[in-house]
Structure 1
Amino acid sequence: MQEAIMTNSIFKNKMLGVLLLAVLSLSACAKKDSSSVRVAGRTTNTGTTSGGGVSQGGTTTSGTCGTSSAGKIFDQYASPQFETQVKNFVSATLDPQSLGTVSGNINDRTGVDLFATFKFDSAGSLIPAESNMLIKIFDSYANQVYQGQVIQPYSVSFSQASEGMIDRNTRQFQVKFRDGYGEIIFQGAYDNSIAEGTVYYQNYTAVSGYQPASGTLGNFRMYACSLIK
């Protein structure tokens, strides 16, 4: 029994070591080029983990608008397929095998946090330069400490959107983020408290050994006052 535990510990340390080397050599610079507005990568911090990390429970319909600026991307059925879709999504900028396990359950320790602002003008058209999005993927490696380095979540961010529109009568909206790596589309509706819907993606490229992927990333939920401007 002790031998099995020791073997698992050695294997885990080796995996964290390989991941840390990848982080320091690749992700610290982030994936970015002149044709894109996307920045993707994983960084490390010196110190000890503070625990948690992912927004436990995410955004719910209880409480008041603005209680939290963080939303969630999740699977309403907590399907194992969610992890596959997340790994397919990041394959535009990262070898999916470098990502740990990710749960679609909104209450689990691992998961996906969403920070975003969608700014529209009085006619309902999106103002791209004032709209942005940050996805933080808290996989099973995030917040672990290896040789004094705390492994951070894998993040994908867009400093501005591409296009979008909102109908303030039906309270429905669609926003697209697009660059040289692909596009991400948020399609949803909102009320006086919550904005929610579905996130779709279509990759234009992929890392070596993979083909460009597309599909449904998951459901999203966020306080309307934080998202819709």
Structure 2
Amino acid sequence: MKTSFFNKSVMGILVLVALSLSACAKKESSATRVAGRSNTPAVTQPNAVNSCGNASMNVGKIYDYYNSGSFESQVKSFISATLDPQTLGTISGNINDKTGIDFFGAFKFDSSGNLVAGSSTVLIKIFDSYAGQSYNGQVIQPYQVEFSAAASGTINRNTRQFTVKFSDSYGDIVFQGQYDGTLAQGNVTYQNRTAVNGYSPASGTLGQFKAYTCALIQ
């Protein structure tokens, strides 16, 4: 099916707005998020150190277990701290769909179960319906939210439960879950402290997450 001139024009305007607003989330410190659509092709982001034998195992998923219609709404509410959510395309909560959320995390804990905040990171890649399309000779990249350091967290190696919080002036995002010898999984919640013009700070459950333990828990 051909894309009409009108649809191309609308997509172009939305993408240009998204790219221009990426500067709203400039990196101010090691714990401040960097958000935007990259101008360079997306590449697999291997964690710095982990025991996974395959690089593809570094990729985790944030999804909606029930695949409800609220997933897209929650994703757009989450990014409204740094971007007008109307500039995102559609996003599926189905873990197997083309659109959705990938994440690359590394949660490092010391022997006492406390998070080593400066060595704990997360990169969230939101693949909306625009990602992968071509516009003016460039491939549109996913919208990314990255934290290069965490704020706080703990792990209980007996019950195999953990909590990790990333925090900055835009808000908080929290990963809370459990793990076994294969998978780490749980819920991702967020609490925004700011919002772009026309919106109010939002909060809620972004979705469920699933990742290989060897990549996520360190």
TM-score by length of 2: 0.89
| Higher Cα Rg, which structure | 1
- Per the alignment, residue 201 of structure 2 pairs with 212
Asked if structure 1 preserves the Cα contact closer than 8 Å seen for 2:109 and 2:154, the reply is yes
- 5+ residue gaps in structure 2? 45-50
Change (3 A) 1:19 1:66: farther
Give the structure 2 partner of residue 191 of structure 1. Answer: 180
Deviation string, structure 1 residues 29-51 (Cα, Å, up to 9, x no partner): 461253651000012348xxx9x
State the partner residue of 2:14.
Answer: 19
How far residue 66 of structure 1 moved from its aligned partner, in angstroms, is 4.7
Cα displacement (A) at 1:24: 4.3
Instruction: Name 1:122's counterpart in structure 2.
Output: 111
Instruction: Give structure 1 regions of 4+ aligned residues with deviation exceeding 6 angstroms.
Output: none
CA contact (8 A) 1:89 1:203 kept: yes
1:39 corresponds in structure 2 to 34
Partner of residue 81 from structure 1, selected from 70, 75, 88: 70
Cα separation, 2, equivalents of 1:184 and 1:148: 35
Aligned to 1:166: 155
Question: Post-superposition shift, 1:21?
Answer: 2.1
State the TM-score, normalized to the length of structure 1. Answer: 0.85
In the alignment, what sits opposite 1:226? 215
Compute the RMSD of aligned alpha carbons.
2.2
- Identical columns (%): 59
1:155 aligns to what SS in structure 2? strand
| Structure 1: gaps of 5 or more residues | 55-63
Shift of 1:12: 1.9
Tell whether the 8 Å contact from 2:173 to 2:189 is kept in structure 1 after alignment: yes
Tell me how far apart the structure 2 counterparts of residues 162 and 24 of structure 1 sit (CA, whole Å).
28
Q: Which moved more, 1:66-75 or 1:166-175?
A: 66-75
